Amino acid sequence: MTCPYASSLVLITGTTGHVGFRVLIHALSAGYSVRAAVRSSEKAKTIRSHPLIKALNPSSRLSFIIVADLCKPNAYDEAARSVDYVIHIASPLMSNQIPPPDDQDAFFIKPAVRGTLNILEAAKKSRTVRRVVITSSITALIPFSEVNGSQRSSSWISPTDRIPFVPGPYANEFEAYAASKVAALQEAEAWMATHNPSFDVVHLHPSFVEGRNDLALHTREVLKGTNAIILSIAIGKQFDHSTMGATVHLEDVARVHVQALDEGVSGNTSYILSQNTEWDEVTEIVSREFPEAVKKGLLPNTGDAPTHPVFIDSSLTEDVFGFRHMGLEEQVRSVVGHYLEMRRSQKKSVTRR
């Protein structure tokens, strides 16, 4: 798919995250000019000085604007001024902690909703924005009882599915995160129906995103986020609960975010990014792709994560964007390969000292 508006200015939020940074790389590679909203000048400096960004030599095509608090009224008004498109990725993420019940709404729900509404309101005020692409989640479309495996999926999940928002308290941060995505999607669609702006919105719904995290500086950072599922199996963790069998390669997610700016893609529409996954296949793939690392004990490869299936229809996405989702083998190769690279890099660093 071509990018006929590749000379346009795109506001991207969340570029200091796993998905956002890769989307930034794809947007710059496609020829877009990008204004990245970050929380501090230090974060802007980190992005600007990254080897992958420097290799692209974006010069004036990459600029930054500080948005310290995405919940603050009018937070994105200046950021959206004179931009043609917006890709809104910034949202609270899981940190492998259980927030106290009193903090769940403040940490997950309010920022997800308020940040999304602030983006939409800023886009309307700008009078130049033609499309807003919002990163949602597959968890916005599936009842949480099916996400966590306490109830089996009874039907295929399609991009037109909608589920009711369930208020907390929540049993864990994953449930709170999922609820925040439901709430943000509902509020965004209600806002669009009420205000009927001149721009349209594309909602993207990835499942577990798997792929090398180029912002990671240490193996402990590689083990964070959704990549931790694959890596935990490779290094020997036994999961005591089943995990939803739905993943998507980071490259597929990043590519579609940028392709969704093409106004030939239907707006005011949801698109699912996912393919079916059996987690017990991870050890087979690791043995086949990284035999030396397994033999040397760098990858014990003795972990196990039981899978509970969900039936997700991503055919609309593949038809519209003209690709087939990369499978688990490519995902494992990316995640585990990066982990081993980081180990080698750290070992050389210690040796030089």
For the chain, list the domains and their CATH numbers. 9-210+248-274+312-321 (3.40.50.720)
Residue 101: its pLDDT value, please?
Answer: 55
Question: Residue ranges of the chain with pLDDT lower than 50?
Answer: 1-2, 96
- What pLDDT is stored for residue 203 in this prediction? 98
User: Rounded to an integer, what distance in angstroms lies between the CA atom of residue 283 and that of residue 265?
Assistant: 38
pLDDT at 100: 56
3-state secondary structure 125-142: HHCCCCEEEEECCHHHCC
Q: How many CA atoms lie within 13 A of 23 on its CB side?
A: 32
d(CA 253, CA 275): 12
Residue position matching structure tokens 């966590």: 148
Q: What is the pLDDT of residue 93?
A: 62
249-287 confidence digits (pLDDT tens) = 999 999 999 999 999 999 999 999 999 999 999 999 999
Residues 219 and 339: beta-carbon distance below 8 Å: yes
Q: Measured between alpha carbons, how far is 181 from 272 in angstroms, rounded to an integer?
A: 14
Question: Which pLDDT does position 1 carry in this prediction?
Answer: 46
Q: Would you state the pLDDT for residue 351?
A: 55
pTM reported for the whole predicted model? 0.94
